[in-house]
Each structure stands twice: as structure tokens, then as C-alpha cells.
Structure 1
Amino acid sequence: MEWRKCYLDAVLVPLAFLVSVSYHAWLWHRVRSQPLSTVVGTNARGRRLWVAAMMKDNDKKNILAVQTLRNTIMGSTLMATTSILLCAGLAAVVSSTYSIKKPLNDTVYGGHGEFMIALKYVSLLLIFLASFMCHSLSIRFINQVNFLINTPQDDAMARVVTPAYISELLEKGCVLNTVGNRVFYSALPVLLWIFGPVLVFMCSVSLVPVLYNLDVVFVKEKGKGGEFVCV
């Protein structure tokens, strides 16, 4: 029966998903409890200070603010464009009658039926679509910051367009950008699912130490031979 061929997919793919979700749940808790021990929390604190500095001396730093925000928007635009192009390509593959799965049927583990193949491609399509949505919303928020950070501060606007308000908008845009990137990265294990569920699990487990070294702040302690330790 078909379900007997898919038992590895039914076990290893959800387990790989659980590994990724567990790591990001831990990271979210770490950002909330010890923000300066993570790159996400440290960058968020730095952005708040940056917004306050730009608005305090806006006459001299307005060009710097616009250029910095423009570079951020360009990065989100690139990721959004890449995601939607991949969505279009996957949609063409799913809707096409041409089949590329037959040469792989006898070389990989897991299910090889029409439903399983469609599930793999549709999962990839949804992941890239979610990444596109996150990056598009990120561009929207950062564009708002781009206008408001240079707004003339009269009495009425000063009570509404405050550094705290602009920092909140910028933080939303940057969080959406981070989420979009992480969703985009999660497409790698799902892409390997085409070649079997074992690679999905191995890739998800391998990504955890890589992301840990990118997400946690390490500092150099004095008196310990220049050893780097986690904050």
C-alpha cells in the first residue's frame, strides 16, 4: 500500500520540522529574556539608538538615514523578487504534464506517488510565497520610516511622530525581513525532500549549529587566553 512507502516521510519530515521550530522557539525566548546575548536583540537595541540619533540631528544626518534605509529596502526587494520568481517556476512545474520524478523512483527512500510528489512541490511553493509576503510587508514598513524619519517636527507632529513610534515601525520591518529570510532558508530542507526524507532530517539538524553560531553573541573574555564565550 502507498502509506507503507511513506512511513519515512511521515516520521522524519515532521521531526525535522519540529527541530527547526524548537530552535526558533528557544531563540525567541532568548531574545525576550536576554536580548543582548543574541544578534537579533543587539541589532534591535542598536536600531532604536540609531533612530534617536538620526532624528536628534536630522539636518546633518538626513542623507545618511535615507541611504541606510534604501540599502535595507534593496535587500528586501531582492529577496522578494527571488521568492516570487521561484514561486512562478514551481507553479509551472506543478501544473505541467512533464514528469521528472520517474528516474528517481528507485534511488531514494520515501513515497514516490503522484500525491507525495505534488505535496513536495506545493510545500516549496507555499514556503517561497510566505517569504515573499514577509519581505513585501517589510518593504512597506521601512518605506514609512523613510518618509517619517525626515518629517519636520512641528508641535502637532512632534507628539505623534516620535523616535519611539519610528523605532517601532522600523523594528516591525526588520523583524519581517528576518522572518522572511528564515522562511526562505527553510526551503533548503524541503528542497532536499525531493531526494528523500532522510536528507530533510539531516539538513534540519545540520542547520541548527550553523544558525546558533549566527544568532548568539560571543565575546572575548580577558584573562582566559582570548577565549570566546557566549554572553
Structure 2
Amino acid sequence: MVMEIKELLDVVLVPSSLTLMFGYHLLLLYRVLRWPETTVIGYENHNKKAWVERMLQRGAGDCSMALDVLSSNLSAATYLASISIALSSLIGTWIGSTSSSNIFRSSVIYGDVTPSTTSVKYVTLLAFFLLAFTFFVQSARHFVHANFLISTPDCEIPVGYVQRAVIRGGNFWSLGLRALYFATTLLLWIFGPIPMFVGSICMVAMMHFLDTNSTPLLQFGSSKEGKALSQRQRQRRLHRHDMPQMDPSSQLVSTMQYTDAMQITATT
């Protein structure tokens, strides 16, 4: 009877956890496509487009700042890809070792601990780590392509090409993080279906908080308008600074002289 209840927990709670995670991400995808300004992904993509446009206006000879930013994103994607493939190798070795697999087949775990279910746990966990590795590699590939485009000398690269490469790199980066989130939830399944279900609820609540954007989108004006505005403000400040400052008594005398002159003109 106890074994039947444990197996029933895996049958009910594990699909519920996966449905909760997949359902949230489908809702997030719908929001990104329909109302991107309400999500952090859409907010960041909007800012990335403006950043690429400003960097290309500086010319290929002054692109060191843009290359530094892209290189930092490239390094982060490469680092997480290395971690994902290392964890995948570790889990693959663990699956191949029959003695170490018996560690999590203890009666302490309240759930199905049969060898077939344990193998499914490891295989699904391995699949999501490999998926995260693939996404991070694709992210690094697009950032490298953006590096080539933005540093091409003596060539008018369309802004849309570089924007597409940078945004795709960021999107694959987000997909890699989502795969790691799924892997974290599946890692809790090793300790039983109840920790996995509780972890999936906490994960969805945390992701909803992190993915929701309440900041309005910044409307980036053209650089020419910004320069003209700053130049007008600078000229206005210089004009105020150069104007002679009169004391109150001098201003009163000038006003009285002007009034007397107007009265004389009126009587004549």
C-alpha cells in the first residue's frame, strides 16, 4: 500500500510540476510576442536596439566600447556553456556507475525509487543540461557574429543586421537560463516528487517576479536632436552668464528715468 502511494505521488506530482513550468513559459512567450513592454525580455531588447544604433553612429574606428560589452556577454555565455557540459559529463558518468546510483534509492526518499524511475530522473536531467549547453553555445555564436559586424572597417553595415545578432544572442542566453531553471527543478526530483513540486511552485513565483517589467520604455531620440538640444542649453547658460548684473537701486533709477521720459513725450 505504501509503495502504491509513493508511485502515485510520482505519477501525479511530477507531471503537475512540468505542466506548471511549461505553462508559465508559454504564457511568458505570449506576453513577449503580444506585450513586450510588460516583460523584462522585451524591455532589454528595446534598450539593446537603441544601444546598437548609438554604437554604429560612432563609426568602426571608435567601437572599442561596443566590443568590450559584447566580449563580456561572450565570456559569460562561454562560461555557462562550460559549466553545463561539465555537469552533463558528471551526470553521464554517474548514470554509468551502478554503485553510486544506489545512493538515492534509499527508503528515506518518499517516492518511486525503482531503477527505471531513477534512470528517467538522470536522463531528463542530463537532457536539460545538454539543452542549456546548446543554447549558450548559440548565444556565443551570435555575439561573435555581432563582433564581426560592428568592427567591420570602411563599410556601412545596416543597423538591423547588428541588432538582430545582438538580440538573438540575448534570446539564446535567456533560453539557456530557462533550461538551467528546468534542470534545477528536475534535480529536486532526485530527492522525491514532493520537493520537485514545491520547488516548481517557488521557481514559477520567482520567475514571474523577475520577468515582469513595470518600467516604461525609454524613448531614445536621435543623437542629432540630443546634440542640438544640449548646444541650445549651453548657449542659454552662457547668455545668462554674460548679461550684466544690475543692482536694485540702478534698476529703480532706470525705471524712473524711463517713466519721466514717457510723460514728457505724452505732454508734448
* TM interval, short-chain normalised: 0.7 to 0.9
Distance (Å, rounded) in 2 between the aligned partners of 1:144 and 1:110: 47
Q: Which residue of 2 aligns with 1:80?
A: 81
Q: How does 1:27-42 map to 2 (within 5 A)?
A: 27-42=28-43
Distance (Å, rounded) in 2 between the aligned partners of 1:142 and 1:59: 17
8 Å contact kept, 1:69–1:142: yes
Q: Which residue of 1 aligns with 2:19?
A: 18
Q: Which residue of 2 aligns with 1:132?
A: 133
Q: State the 1:99 CA deviation.
A: 3.3
Q: State the 1:103 CA deviation.
A: 6.5
**CA deviations over 1:174-198 (Å, ceiling 9, x no partner):** 1111000110121111111111111
Query: Aligned-pair RMSD on alpha carbons?
Result: 1.9
Equivalent in 194, 199, 202 of residue 198 of structure 2 = 202
Q: How does 1:91-110 map to 2 (within 5 A)?
A: 91-101=92-102, 104-110=105-111
TM-score relative to the length of structure 1: 0.87
Equivalent in 204, 207, 210 of residue 211 of structure 1 = 207
8 Å contact kept, 1:79–1:132: yes
Aligned residue identity for 1:67: D
TM-score relative to the length of structure 2: 0.75
8 Å contact kept, 1:55–1:150: no
Equivalent in 167, 170, 173 of residue 166 of structure 2 = 170
Q: State whether structure 2 residue 177 is matched by structure 1 residue 181.
A: yes
Higher Cα Rg: structure 1 or 2? 2
Aligned residue pairs: how many? 214
Q: Which runs of 5+ in 1 are unaligned?
A: 221-231
Distance (Å, rounded) in 1 between the aligned partners of 2:71 and 2:176: 18
Q: How does 1:131-170 map to 2 (within 5 A)?
A: 131-154=132-155, 158=156, 161-170=157-166
Q: Structure 1 residues 47, 56: closer, same or farther in 2, change over 3 A? A: same
What is the identity percentage for the equivalent residue pairs of Structure 1 and Structure 2? 31
Q: Which residue of 1 aligns with 2:119?
A: 118
**CA deviations over 1:156-185 (Å, ceiling 9, x no partner):** xx3xx3110111111111111100011012
Q: Structure 1 residues 78, 212: closer, same or farther in 2, change over 3 A? A: same
8 Å contact kept, 1:104–1:195: no
**2:63 aligned counterpart, secondary structure:** helix
Which of 98-107 and 26-35 deviates more?
Answer: 98-107
Distance (Å, rounded) in 2 between the aligned partners of 1:87 and 1:118: 14
**1:12 aligned counterpart, secondary structure:** helix
